[in-house]
Amino acid sequence: MTKQKLHIVSLDVPFPADYGGAIDIFYRLKALHKLGFDLTLHVFEYGRGKQAELDKFAKVIYYPRKKNIFQLFGSRPFIVSSRRSKALLANLLQDNSPIIFEGLHTTWYLENEEIQQRLTFVRTHNVEHEYYSGLKNNASFLKRFYFYQEAKKLKRYQTILAKCKYVLAIKTEDAEYLKKFHSNVHILPASIPDIIGEFLPVKRYSLFHGNLSVKENESAAIWIIHALKNVIDPTFPLVIAGKNPTKKLQEMCRNEKIELFANPSEKELHKLVQEAQIHVLHTSIAAGVKLKLLACIMSSGQILVNDKMVLGSMLEKFCTIAKDAKEFKIDYIGLQNSVLSKEEFVQRAQFIQANFNNAQNCSLIQKIIKYENSL
């Protein structure tokens, strides 16, 4: 039996799977390969290099991302105009196979008349203009101006979605918004690595974890430190753990006597996540589904978040949600005397297994292709 061919156009090299977008694309690639697709992965490369691991799952073709300062003054978003390649278009037109465009970033050629005759999917990772608008809040002046302009362009540009056949949204709230531009919007949850967790006795500490070199995560850690000021003490310490903390964050942790665990190994971080009594998470950008939140849900600890962390994610029922810093502090004090039951842990695990099964979720693409081929 001939395998169904499928093109995937990726906004970045999705391996190593070490940040949200790369994780989502990489594990979807693995799931689609496991489902039996003959995959061609088209990758825009701009610093992460060619990765042999990807060859296990697809024929991989790399294209340079062409960044030019003059693109900043064009009418289209920079994240789109810097990801165009005549070689990509030529390769896509070599057959008539379906195409998945990963992210609004990769959709330059949706305006091509021949591509419009194809079965095309756009997998949105966020409502991009809202995401870029949020990024400007923690940026320097020049970057703030760039994010402001990019958000405006993305809001105009998102009408391009009308030119694909199907939109695949990452969560319910995004899907409802995107229905303004397309009638065929389906929810395809984030593709994630297996999250291993077990019901364990917890230890008396709270934890914030993430890639601390990412501005959004650093800002979240700083917000949490300010919000919990005067309620953190040695009997219930706050631990901040993650990759490459900035000097600013290191100094703040020293001054506030907060335990900073820089660059933990995968094993060390897993232990920290599994044994924390309280997970504290915050974001200023209601975008996508945070993998670190899913890791916390597969632990035995309580989870304290702000509303943007869980908005439209179906994960609200497993968290205590604080609307502001004052509420965050009050809830934090209360959760120090609250322990998760085994029944609650089982409910969490069952939810993750039911809703974040990569092969099951990606079979949606298989079903749509089968339906379209039957017409």
Q: What are the tens digits of pLDDT across the range 76-106?
A: 999 999 999 999 999 999 999 999 999 999 9
Question: Which domains does the chain possess?
Answer: 5-192+357-374 (3.40.50.2000), 203-354 (3.40.50.2000)
Query: Residue 291: pLDDT band by 50, 70, 90 thresholds?
Result: confident
Q: How many CB atoms lie within 10 A of CB 140?
A: 10
**Which pair of tokens denotes residue 255?**
């001054």
Cis peptide before 264 (omega within 30 of 0): no
Distance between alpha carbon 308 and the CA centroid of its chain, in Å? Answer: 14
Query: To the nearest whole number, what is the mean pLDDT of the chain?
Result: 94
Name the CA radius of gyration of the chain, rounded: 21
Give the Cα separation of 182 and 175 in Å (integer): 10
- Residue 289's pLDDT band (boundaries 50, 70, 90)? low
- What integer pLDDT is reported at residue 70 of this predicted model? 77
Q: Give me the pLDDT at residue 69, please.
A: 81
Q: Is the pLDDT of residue 253 over 90?
A: yes
Residue 5 has pLDDT above 70, yes or no: yes
Q: What are phi and psi of 312, to 5 degrees?
A: 70, 15
Per residue in 292-330, pLDDT (tens digit) is 899 999 999 999 999 999 887 789 999 999 999 999 999
DSSP conformation letters of 110-161: GGSHHHHTS-EEEE-SS-HHHHHHHHGGGS-HHHHHHHHHHHHHHHHHGGGG
User: pLDDT tier at 288 (50, 70, 90 boundaries)?
Assistant: low
Confidence tier at 150 by pLDDT (50, 70, 90): very high
- Bond from prior residue into 16 cis (ω within 30 degrees of 0): yes
Residues 170, 124 contacting (CB under 8 angstroms): yes
What does the block give as tokens for 295? 């890791």
Model pLDDT, residue 98: 98
What pLDDT sits at residue 249?
A: 96
Q: How far is CA 319 from the centre of its chain?
A: 19
